[in-house]
Amino acid sequence: MQDLISSSYSNDEAIRFTQYTISQADKKTITQAGSQILKNTPKLPYACALMSAMWGALIRDSTHIPTHVVAGNLLINGRKVFFNDDSSEKVKQVFETSNYSWDGHVWVSFAGTIGDISIFRSAYSESENHWLHQLIVNEFGQGRGLVLGTPPNMTYEAKYVLTDNQITALIKGFRTAIEGRQN
């Protein structure tokens, strides 16, 4: 993760990431911000990049917690939930274009603590017979909102850390998606 942060930001940022110890107060701030985003946004399934960008930017702009929006793969119990075989360089290229559609997953790293604001929303949007809905309900139950920390059955494989410009572009896209749903 340190190398990915250095590539997208700087060596100083990567060092800050490794040296920061997240506190209970930090976790409370992060969780409250994530809950507010979930409460105030339409239930758009499979919007991991958009929602993670918003959550990451909110914490990054309002705290000193080293916060990074990360693209990669998500496995649950070894099963590929959101997975892409592309190299880190190809993932970077995806986020440098205006096309943010890909098969992987996006989450937020808060000083190394994983935050996933979209997995439950995506799973619960599927029919009860859909494998993702069943997997999430069996592992976590109904009515969950976000993940902060890494449950032992979930594996997050980082491939790329988004830059501030890419995060801003995603947030602008998120606003457009929300406005499009309201019209």
| pLDDT grade for 175, boundaries at 50, 70 and 90 | confident
Cβ-contact 130, 136 below 8 angstroms? no
- Running DSSP on this structure, what letter comes out for residue 160? E
How confident is the model over 117-137, as a mean pLDDT?
Answer: 92
Residue 100 confidence (pLDDT) above 60: no
pTM of the model: 0.91
How far apart, in whole angstroms, are the C-alpha atoms of residue 103 and residue 41? Answer: 23
The CB density around residue 146, as the number of other CB atoms within 10 Å, is 22
Q: What is the mean pLDDT of the chain?
A: 90
Q: What is the pLDDT of residues 60-88, one digit of tens each?
A: 999 999 999 999 999 998 989 999 888 88
